[in-house]
Structure 1
């Protein structure tokens, strides 16, 4: 997802042993602690948008600089857990990326990122893919709902408020031409493009383990202070949460249809959303208190996501 909320090494040609027995221990905060597990050892290629890249999380590294890629994002943390050498790990994730940028070069504000799948080769043994939010315009969706929340605050002072007040949802519904808000169509289109990308990845790397990484919980099950942290009307918290869950559902279904593994990061991040307390949240609010882009994972969130991926590797190993 885009970082403008203002909300994605050379080619690894070294052939490594497909699997190895890796001893791993971890503390709590997103996953159980496995002991001896069988995991791929690379080469590993990470693809995705800013929820993968980790904008504003230090240290920012990689080229182009416009991708805002962190060396503490979940692919980097996963590569470290797997004991991969630098030549066995490539991270092509980039802030602002859509599914189109998997197959074509992406221009950023500071340099051009090559087509992300260009890093995937016959030698690749592990691929993670986290993308789709920019295809449905989730960044602009949140921005629109925040603006609607500002006007809602004025109206609330005049007529009071209700728990299901959702000016943003109503606005999108009024624009629909088929009885919907139009976002469902974008989600379906994004799902089709993810399927096409997964097919291309499979052709390039027929022996690779492929994992599609879903989005973590951005908003809570209830309002719970989101007016303060995000400026949203109560009903629009539910509206945005439902759209994110719907996107995750489509990503899960497309992953399974392509023979890939879906990684659920939503469940372990429940209660750690942008409206949660600063000492537990994975997602920063509009005004971050930790090093992260607004409405994006902080380092705690990236760690939790890496553990979810590692758990998925264990479960399907």
Structure 2
């Protein structure tokens, strides 16, 4: 069962920023959302847009942001499995091809959000390896031992790619405010996790938590370097990770209990991420449903 669920995870995961949309702005004209599955919202109803293989949701955080800002021209080209390379070149997905995401940038944007980098370091592969290796040493840290320093090196290498992405957005959309949206809290922010419900040993939980925080810190640093806004979605989702009970968790585990892809935000998680983006932009945050 774990192998089948992990396979589903792998399928899913596969210039200077402008100053438009000032902190006191409550409305945006053209808003373009770029990114991977943590932007697209795979399997969160309702499905939206083409190609269907991107698994884009009409309730994902960009949709929450567009509604909150009253965007008059909202374009969401985020796609599950996207890497930084898929921003500049077409991405092959089931039943079609997602055009290069940067093709959506016309230069008329008021706001651009981008959630990218997780697949560059191998999110899907990491989940697969840890779900298979960690249970073999429940008192150890088999996944950490397998990777060693590899993931830290991947994060360092991805930093250059993120810098290039942000420079290109700044060139293509010189008048836009750019928001780099980080990744939500997938695992408990402290403690041993919830083995075997989420099959990561306490040692691997601590290590994986650190890797995600390092990735988010890198994204924040790259955003600051070009004057873009970094949106922390980790803090607002802490306590709602995949170890929590249904109704409390905003991130689904390897066996989802509400409509969402494994190890991804559900509808509540997407709403929380959207609220974090709106707050970072200085826009009113809708009351939780």
Choose from 170, 188, 198 the match for 1:230. Answer: 198
Q: CA deviation at 1:81?
A: 1.1
Q: How has the CA–CA distance of structure 1 residues 121 and 169 changed in structure 2, closer, same or farther, with 3 Å as cutoff? A: same
> In the alignment, is the contact (CA less than 8 A) between 1:222 and 1:237 conserved in 2?
no
Deviations 1:28-63 (A, max 9, x none): xxxxxxxxx523412000000000000001111100
RMSD (Å), alpha carbons: 1.9
Q: Matched residues in 1 for 2:27 and 2:211: separation?
A: 33
- Unaligned 5+ residue runs, structure 1? 9-17, 22-36, 154-160, 174-180
TM-score by length of 1: 0.81
Are the counterparts in 2 of residues 65 and 110 from structure 1 also a CA contact under 8 Å? yes
The match for 1:5 is: 9
Give the match for residue 114 of structure 2. Answer: 129
Q: How many positions carry a matched residue from both structures? A: 271
| CA positional deviation for 1:134 | 0.3
Give the equivalent residue in structure 2 for 1:156: none
Alignment counterpart, residue 295 of structure 1, candidates 233, 250, 263: 263
- Contact 2:242–2:253 (CA<8 Å) still a contact in 1? yes
- Structure 1 3/190 Cα, relative in aligned 2: closer, same or farther at 3 Å? farther
TM-superposed deviation, 1:182: 1.2
Query: Is the CA contact (8 Å cut-off) linking 1:274 and 1:283 kept in structure 2?
Result: yes
TM-score by length of 2: 0.89
Moved over 3 A (4+): 18-21, 222-225
Q: Deviations over 1:149-191 (max 9, x none)?
A: 23225xxxxxxx4xxx211111222xxxxxxx21111111211
Q: 2: distance between equivalents of 1:255 and 1:188?
A: 15
Equivalent residue, structure 1, for 2:102? 117
Q: Which residue of 1 aligns with 2:152?
A: 184
Tell me how far 1:82 sits from its aligned partner: 1.3
Find 2:25's aligned residue among 38, 45, 58. 38
Deviation, 1:297, is 0.4
Structure-2 residue corresponding to 1:283: 251
Cα deviations across residues 225-249 of structure 1 (Å, max 9, x unaligned)? 5213211111000111111100000
Kindly indicate whether residue 55 of structure 2 is the aligned counterpart of residue 68 of structure 1. yes
Contact 1:49 1:96 in 2 (8 A): yes
SS across alignment from 2:117: coil
Contact preservation (8 Å) 1:229, 1:274: no
1:271 counterpart = 2:239:
yes
Contact preservation (8 Å) 2:84, 2:120: yes
Cα separation, 1, equivalents of 2:168 and 2:95: 28
Question: Structure 2: which 5+ runs fail to align?
Answer: 1-5, 15-19, 284-289
Q: Which among 155, 159, 171 is matched to residue 146 of structure 2?
A: 171
- Superposed counterparts of 1:222-261, under 5 Å: 222-223=190-191, 225-261=193-229
Q: Matches of 2:8 and 2:230 in 1, distance apart?
A: 27
Higher RCO structure (Cα 8 Å, ≥6 apart): 2
Choose 1 or 2 for highest CA Rg. 1
Once the two structures are TM-superposed, the CA of residue 142 in structure 1 deviates from its matched residue by 1.5
